[in-house]
Amino acid sequence: MKGPIIAIVGCLHGDELIGQRIISRLNRLKIKKGVLLTIIANPEAIKAKKRFIDSDLNRSFPGRPRGNREERIAYRLTKILKQCDFIVDLHSTTTDTKSLVIATKLNKNILGVIGAFNPKRVALMSKKFSTKSMSYNFKACLSFEYGRDDAPEAFKRTLRDVLVLLSYFGLIDKKIDVGKRKTEFYKIIGTLVKKECFSLMGVKNFKLVKKGQVVAGRENEIIKAKKDFYPILFGERAYKDIFGFTAKKYYF
């Protein structure tokens, strides 16, 4: 069948099941042309109800043939996904983040795809934070972080925008109106390190934090922002060692 090969990858993290549900729905589609490749990346972690077994799969690419469990998965996935024209990586988040697309590069091809569905927000993840991620290791990949795993609206929005992309690439006939949306672009420039027993204070994702603003604290100790930044994927349980990523607005 002539046409592009599009991969939809879910469950790089075994505790993020939205990808599994989206893929279940996509597998019912009638493909007009091209190839739709759907992949549940880490079924053993899903079964164990854990984020990963040995190491974070989204920090294990391009993998190793004799590495730990996730490195071996990454190695096998790399061999498959390098044949694809475009990859969509489906995630969920424990934070209040909604409708965020993460890219590790913004070339003409990727910007064209973004323009097809105009997501609310796009964050460019710099090389410093992304070299071992799945997205970084392929020529054209976008990661979706549309909300909490159990949020019906996150499922609805994710499925809608995936279908828009499949229509854009000509795999399906379905036309979906996403309305007039203007995309905000951000560039991730750093992280806020998580200190033991500290809690976030008044920080909301995508709301500008000013230099000197208190961002976290415990008892009589506080952490102040060293410079202005926009919080991205900030949350108490989002990551083990950081509260989240700091970003600035990105303009073309």
Q: What is the pLDDT confidence band of residue 181, given thresholds at 50, 70 and 90?
A: confident
For residues 98 and 91, give the distance between their C-alpha atoms in angstroms, rounded to a whole number: 11
What's the fold here for domain 5-168? Aminopeptidase (3.40.630)
What does the pLDDT average to over 30-37?
96
Amino acid at 117: F
First to last CA, the chain: 37
Are the C-beta atoms of 34 and 170 separated by less than 8 Å? yes
Domain ranges of the chain: 5-168, 187-249
pLDDT for the residue 1 = 59
For 114-130, write each residue's pLDDT tens digit. 999 999 999 999 999 99
Least confident range of 67-81, 111-125, 172-186: 172-186
Give the global pTM.
Answer: 0.94
- Whether residue 2 has pLDDT greater than 90: no
What is the enclosing helix (H) or strand (E) of 109? Answer: helix 108-117
For residues 136 and 248, give the distance between their C-alpha atoms in angstroms, rounded to a whole number: 20
pLDDT for the residue 33 = 95
Note the CATH number of domain 187-249: 2.40.50
Are the C-beta atoms of 182 and 122 separated by less than 8 Å? no
- Whether residue 89 has pLDDT greater than 90: yes
